[in-house]
């Protein structure tokens, strides 16, 4: 396995397979009465979150603790960045404390790549700007694979603000790499130029994208996008681009409904869909811990001999 997990582009098919397999093993640990193994005892994991996050940070923190690593977290507001320190200086200071793994969430694309170049410790990208969110994509893939057995040949629809979604980008790359067909839909203002170069199709309508889908992933709509002139109103968005039961009828009967959270109920997803029988939204959260445990273990030297093809 690589030193760093930065994006889905840099992971090989073999590496992805081994991460997904390892995650399945890790899930079992979380189901035990004593949810802790000593594997990473003595390792230091720093959770470095420049951007607010509840679920991802908690998920990484739980993952580290279940493997007996010492995890500490620094948030953007308490970090020295606020005091004018550059990311490079912060990196050098971190280095001096000899951490083993640094988990970085940052509002600028490429920040984890920058940190990885300057640190001996492993860097795991927990989301960088609108670029990548590889651990989210991996947990999405684990969740789908758990239900469908394989990702090969599946039709996956991703709906919403693709332009501002690192989740969408990482899933486009990841699912496509594993043999799924990814279709995107959303208002044209939210479809970034040249996204087809990731090997995905852009559907003219949401209905078209959902047609025959094995999995439908809805993306969070941020209210600020109204100011960016990317949409008119939430009301209109819900009507034309939101997921409701009627629209879902076009998908396969055993379709999976996903959402990376946090949801805007009634905007991009109807409550009856979010809480309905097709929803695997809470599985995603459970698998998030498992995937992050797998990654912590793999970058720490477990199974280093997986080929990078």
- CB of residue 130 to another protein, shortest distance in Å: 4
- CB of residue 171 to another protein, shortest distance in Å: 13
Per the CB < 8 A criterion, the answer to whether 160 and 137 are in contact is no
Q: Is 169 in the site for another protein (CB under 8 A)?
A: yes
Angle separating helix axes 134-148 and 281-299, nearest 10 degrees:
120
Per the CB < 8 A criterion, the answer to whether 155 and 181 are in contact is yes
Per the CB < 8 A criterion, the answer to whether 106 and 51 are in contact is yes
Q: Is 197 in the site for another protein (CB under 8 A)?
A: yes
Report the residue number, 163 or 299, with the smaller CB distance to another protein: 163
Q: Is 177 in the site for another protein (CB under 8 A)?
A: no
**Who contacts 78 (Cβ-Cβ below 8 Å, separation ≥6)?**
none
| 66, 166, 177, 220: residue in contact with another protein (rule CB under 8 A) | 166
Kindly tell me the burial class for residue 270, based on how many C-beta atoms sit within 10 Å of its own C-beta (0-12, 13-18, 19 or more). Answer: buried
Q: Is 37 in the site for another protein (CB under 8 A)?
A: no
Q: Is 106 in the site for another protein (CB under 8 A)?
A: yes
d(C-alpha 240, C-alpha 236), whole Å: 6
| 14, 77, 86, 150: residue in contact with another protein (rule CB under 8 A) | 86
| 194, 204, 262, 277: residue in contact with another protein (rule CB under 8 A) | 194
Q: Is 302 in the site for another protein (CB under 8 A)?
A: no
Say how many Å lie between the first and final Cα of the chain, rounded.
11
- CB of residue 203 to another protein, shortest distance in Å: 17
Q: Is 240 in the site for another protein (CB under 8 A)?
A: no
- CB of residue 200 to another protein, shortest distance in Å: 11
DSSP string, 98-144: --SEEEEEESSTTHHHHHHHH-SSEEEEEEETTTB-HHHHHHHHHHH
Chain residues binding another protein by CB under 8 A are 9, 86-88, 106, 108-111, 113-114, 128-132, 163, 166, 169, 192-198
């Amino acid at each position: 396995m690589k030193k760093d997990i930065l994006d889905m582009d840099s992971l090989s098919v073999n590496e992805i397979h081994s991460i997904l397999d390892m995650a399945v093993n890790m899930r079992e640990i979380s189901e035990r009465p004593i949810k802790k193994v000593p594997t990473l005892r003595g390792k230091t994991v720093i959770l470095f979150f420049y951007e607010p996050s509840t679920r991802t940070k908690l998920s990484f923190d739980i993952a580290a603790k279940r493997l007996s690593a010492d995890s500490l977290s620094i948030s953007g507001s308490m970090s020295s960045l606020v005091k004018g320190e550059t990311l490079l200086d912060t990196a050098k200071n971190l280095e001096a404390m000899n951490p083993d793994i640094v988990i970085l969430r940052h509002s600028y694309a490429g920040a984890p790549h920058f940190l990885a170049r300057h640190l001996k410790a492993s860097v795991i990208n927990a989301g960088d700007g609108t670029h990548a969110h590889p651990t989210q994509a991996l947990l999405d893939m684990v969740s789908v694979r758990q239900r469908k057995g394989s990702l090969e040949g599946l039709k996956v629809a991703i709906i919403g603000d693709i332009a501002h979604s690192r989740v969408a980008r990482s899933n486009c790359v990841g699912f496509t790499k594993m043999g799924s067909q990814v279709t995107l839909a959303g208002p044209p203002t939210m479809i970034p130029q040249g996204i087809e170069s990731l090997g995905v199709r852009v559907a003219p309508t949401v209905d078209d994208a959902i047609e025959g889908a094995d999995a439908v992933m809805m993306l969070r709509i941020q209210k600020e996008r109204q100011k960016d002139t990317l949409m008119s109103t939430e009301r209109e968005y819900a009507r034309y681009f939101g997921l409701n039961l009627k629209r879902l009828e076009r998908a396969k009967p055993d379709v999976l409904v996903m959402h990376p959270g946090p949801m805007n109920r009634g905007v991009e997803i109807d409550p009856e869909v979010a809480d309905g029988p097709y929803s695997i939204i809470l599985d995603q959260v459970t698998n998030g811990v498992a995937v992050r445990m797998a990654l912590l273990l793999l970058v720490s030297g477990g199974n280093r001999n997986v080929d990078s093809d």
